[in-house]
Structure formats: structure tokens, C-alpha cells
């Protein structure tokens, strides 16, 4: 994962669409984790869509582990 060419907290909101989670078979958990961490570096808030594996009609297999890793197991989404 390349470093995004932006300063820390340069953006209030970052939107990511149609890459992460959809291609869970081709993109490893490690890729997902590094990508989300880099997005969190440059933005105060991120929104990723979709969180579903659309062809399989279920949430991505990486989602729960990723959230637990990033929140230390404490989920508090307001």
C-alpha cells in the first residue's frame, strides 16, 4: 500500500467506494487493514461502501476482524 500524498488529518471526510471488501478474495486482510489505517491517517472520518461481498450477498469476511483490530474490540459507533 502506497502512502497517500496528503498530510495527516488533511480531510474531514474520506469516501471509499467499490474497492475494499468487494474484492476480499483478491485483496488480503493485511491489505484491507493497511488501507483503512492510511485512510484514517489523512481523514478524521472515513466511510467505506459497500461493506458487503455483493456476489455472495453477505458481509465481508474481513469486516469484523478489521473493526475489532482498529477499535481494540470496543465498538462505539454513533
In a domain, 61, yes or no: yes
- State the Cα–Cα distance between residues 29 and 61, nearest whole angstrom: 9
Q: Which residues touch 58 (CB under 8 Å, ≥6 apart)? A: 52
- Locate 10 and state its grid cell: 488533511
pLDDT in tens, the chain (78 residues): 579 999 999 999 999 999 899 888 899 999 999 999 999 999 999 999 998 888 888 899 999 999 999 988 666 554
**Domain ranges, residue 63:** 11-71
- Quote the pTM value: 0.84
Q: Is 36 exposed, middle or buried (0-12, 13-18, 19+ CB in 10 A)?
A: buried
In a domain, 2, yes or no: no
In a domain, 37, yes or no: yes
Amino acid at each position: 500500500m502506497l502512502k497517500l500524498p496528503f498530510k495527516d488529518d488533511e480531510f474531514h471526510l474520506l469516501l471509499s467506494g467499490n474497492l475494499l471488501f468487494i474484492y476480499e478474495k483478491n485483496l488480503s486482510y493485511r491489505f484491507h487493514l493497511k488501507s483503512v489505517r492510511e485512510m484514517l491517517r489523512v481523514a478524521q472520518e472515513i466511510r467505506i461502501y459497500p461493506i458487503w461481498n455483493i456476489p455472495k450477498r453477505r458481509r465481508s469476511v474481513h469486516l469484523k476482524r478489521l473493526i475489532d483490530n482498529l477499535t481494540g474490540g470496543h465498538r462505539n459507533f454513533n
